[in-house]
A and B are shown apart, each in its own frame.
Chain A
């Protein structure tokens, strides 16, 4: 049995925890001074101390393992980092190329994916006609299509964006479409009674309801986006971190390969963090799908 008064007593508690959440966000955003930034940073470190520790432990494990293994199999973390100082690798240029492929493909997939899911939601005919072939096409391993894209689109950034796009696209469409479908029918009835237009229903109810699903699709896609671009670069490219890995492979330059791998992963982390940050801004805490 639930008593409202008792729940009322709990309210201040809940509100306090929400307030402290907001304060953390505010102090980080408002840059009120070095003191508050420092305080926020130390709070962050305390909150994630275990995760930081396990990352350091992973690094230590790598370093320990590298002592027992030849350099061309497993270089040490120090040797790997040292490659950053070698100008002939041209890290900045290659990272920027791969980064723009990843972000480009991802952005394109988000725009087209969400638009298509909205179209499915808008018209049952469109959904029945277009969704089955999409599901079929999704069965084709996207990576296996990479050689074709290169034949069609030539070398360069273009085909790699397309490969990244094809990989990212599907989870975004499916998640968004599901989110739009999960809206409580009674909620739609509630506004249909007062003759809400199709656009009002979409704008005020369906789209905000679906946003948590859109973001969960985008998070899945963010991880996949990197794989798409790298495969494209492996197959046909004269730029990018994937190309760099292939070109140093012949000389067994493992430290550079490791460094390229780390940078590729960091691109993925950056994209994921950006999506998570956008989600924090747009979707209230209790509505998130994780």
Chain B
């Protein structure tokens, strides 16, 4: 028996396929996507916009069912309850205007009916972790776009999910804020020890954040390749100027057929 069969990965996607019906015609969004994710990994999914990356995340979150292949999340020793072990972050912060920041962060805990006091303590701690200490009782509109997105990240972590899915979370931010958020997310990921799947169409963001980068082709999303990223930890913006960073980026450009 091989070693791989003995120890199953935390998440396994095997030839996953998804088609949508649009005006009677079948449009393939995801085709033959296979990769494994180990617990605690940071997987960056990179590919052209509209290539079906978001569909892939929706399949993983259980919002959409794949109609081919197999998706298996969780292993016997680390079960994953689809109903409570997933956190999500979207491109827009999607904070509720009528709630304070702390109450926004607490929304998943409320829906899951988690014990209030512990959830609150956790939410305060998370807001400190994402750098929003002192803004707990502010309203969303009082915060800048970057700060709102930090709150959205804290909200995705509040129910202590094992898996966090992020769909271009920094896509709407300006370039400089985005760079800063990358550094922050790298730190948050390390401190929280979660498994993160992160969709982006920024190659440098994918290399900077990922322990593994999955490169997908244009619609339908097919596997173009996967690359393990080994950069010095903790990752700093300086790493972006190093030679190995450039080599990883170049490899991704090649896989995308852009060179």
Contacts and interface: CB of A to CB of B under 8 A. Distances in A.
A18 to B, nearest CB: 8
Interface string B222-246: 0000000000000000000000000
A4 B139 CA distance: 16
Interface in B85-112: 86-88, 90, 92, 94, 96-98, 107-108, 110-112
B144 A193 contact: no
A286 interface: yes
Interface residues of A, number: 30
Interface string B43-80: 00000000000000010011100000000000000000
Nearest to B167: A186
Contacts, number: 77
Interface stretch (A7-15, A48-56, A121-129, A213-221): A7-15
Contacts of A7: 144, 147
Interface string B204-234: 0000000000000000000000000000000
B146 interface: yes
Contacts of A3: 176-177
Contact of B147 (A4, A184, A195): A4
A190 to B, nearest CB: 5
A286 B144 contact: no
Contacts of B90: 186, 189-190
B111 A2 contact: no
Contacts of B180: 4
A186 B82 CA distance: 18
Nearest to B94: A187
Contact of B146 (A4, A14, A191, A208): A4
B133 to A, nearest CB: 13
Task: Provide the main secondary structure of the chain A interface.
Answer: helix
Contacts of A193: 61-63, 86-88
A286 to B, nearest CB: 5
Interface residues of B, number: 35
A200 B111 contact: yes
B80 to A, nearest CB: 12
Contact of B98 (A4, A8, A287): A287
Contacts of A8: 144
A200 B141 CA distance: 24
Nearest to B161: A194
Given A2-B145, A4-B147, A284-B139, A186 B94 contact: yes
B96 A208 contact: yes
Given A1-B174, A2-B146, A194-B86, 14 more contacts: A2-B174, A3-B176, A7-B147, A15-B138, A186-B92, A189-B58, A190-B88, A194-B83, A194-B84, A195-B84, A205-B96, A209-B96, A284-B98, A287-B98
Interface of B: 58, 61-63, 82-84, 86-88, 90, 92, 94, 96-98, 107-108, 110-112, 138-139, 141-142, 144-147, 159, 174-177, 180
22 contacts: A1-B176, A2-B145, A4-B144, A4-B146, A8-B144, A18-B142, A186-B90, A189-B58, A189-B88, A190-B90, A191-B111, A192-B63, A193-B61, A194-B86, A200-B111, A204-B96, A204-B107, A204-B110, A284-B139, A286-B141, A287-B97, A287-B98
Interface of A: 1-4, 7-8, 11, 14-15, 18, 184, 186-187, 189-196, 200, 204-205, 208-209, 283-284, 286-287
